[in-house]
Amino acid sequence: MDIGFLTLDIRLFDWFSGSKSPTSNVNLFCPHIKNNCLNPPAFAEASAGKPVYRLPSTVHRPPSTVHRLPSTVHRPPSTVHRPPSTVHRLPSTLHRPPSTVYRPPSTVHRLPSTVYRPSSTVHRPPSTVYRPPSTVQHIAIFASGAGSNARKIIEYFKNATDVRVALVVSNKKDAGVLDIAREHGIPTHIIDRSSFYGTEDLLGILKKHDIGFIVLAGFLWLIPSYLVQAYEKKMVNIHPALLPQFGGKGMYGMHVHEAVKASGAAETGITIHFVNEHYDEGDIVFQERCAVLPEDTPADIARKVQRLEHLYFPKVVEKLVSASNNPINF
């Protein structure tokens, strides 16, 4: 039906509800189109190809009361491979200005310290003590035999910072002490009788190794005068008895212990003394004793004396070297 070029598609049952009949509803709304609304075929034919205006529904639809259970469908994780992004992100150029938040100063009041600290009135004048530069003292060991005392001295000073065994001298090419020196990387020197007593070449060797102290550890030759004078109070010897007894030429090793046993002495020991031009006559520096029992043999006495030698000789040498700081007059 045409009303101002607008065709109304009137669905009477969507407009109203209740006990009224469709005919009466049409009469209420637009009575003059009653016949067309109740004749749908005729109305459809009349409104074909024309815009349709549909009035909003006034039917009240209450909310659904249907309960929907959660889905039980299993969805496996995606297996789609997503390669890492190749997008290059430039560093941010965003300028962040300094904070403008106002922070008031602290209101905590700190009282000044009341502890009185007077300034020091002690006057410390500059030190006038002369401290020479630290130097390592080089010592040489003279030996003629196996070198058990030499080994103890070398091992004693192995890790020392102020004393070092720098040379081992022997009058025998096959002396065991030479093997001990090579074992510890210490230079060796072999002397012969003619050069030892007829020349002063040995002083040049000692000077070459900067030797400041000499230790006689079982050396059998008498020391010549030139060497005694060059190392006055800087050369010591150890004797396996209590000097002045059982000393002199030929008194060394087992000869001394046999003499002690034969004498019936109740004690023996060791003597450390400075060296002069005579056998076993230098000033005594140190002595230590041990008992001689009636049943002791010369070999028993030798073992007791050797224990004293190994225990005390390195320590006495250390003290003598430390006290000896004057240069050698070659």
Cα–Cα distance between 27 and 32 in angstroms, integer? 8
What separation in angstroms does the CA of 99 have from each of 96, 103, 106? 9, 10, 19
User: Using CA atoms, how far apart are residues 164 and 309, in angstroms rounded to an integer?
Assistant: 20
Distance CA 34, CA 28 (A): 10
**Dihedral, 287, 290, 296, 298 alpha carbons, nearest 10:** -20
Q: Judge if the upstream peptide bond of residue 244 is cis by omega within 30 degrees of 0.
A: yes
Strand duo 6-8 + 2-3: pairing: antiparallel
Query: In which element (H, E) is residue 273 found?
Result: strand 267-274
Do 267 and 291 form a contact (C-beta atoms < 8 A)? yes
Say if residues 216 and 142 touch (Cβ distance below 8 Å): yes
Question: Which tokens go with 293?
Answer: 């029992």
Q: Comparing C-alpha atoms, which of 322, 169, 320, 163 is closest to residue 233?
A: 320
The answer to whether 238 touches 216, Cβ cutoff 8 Å, is yes
Distance of CA 12 to the CA centre of its chain: 99
Catalytic residue among 81, 239, 255, 310: 239
**Is 239 marked active-site?**
yes
Residues identified as active-site:
239
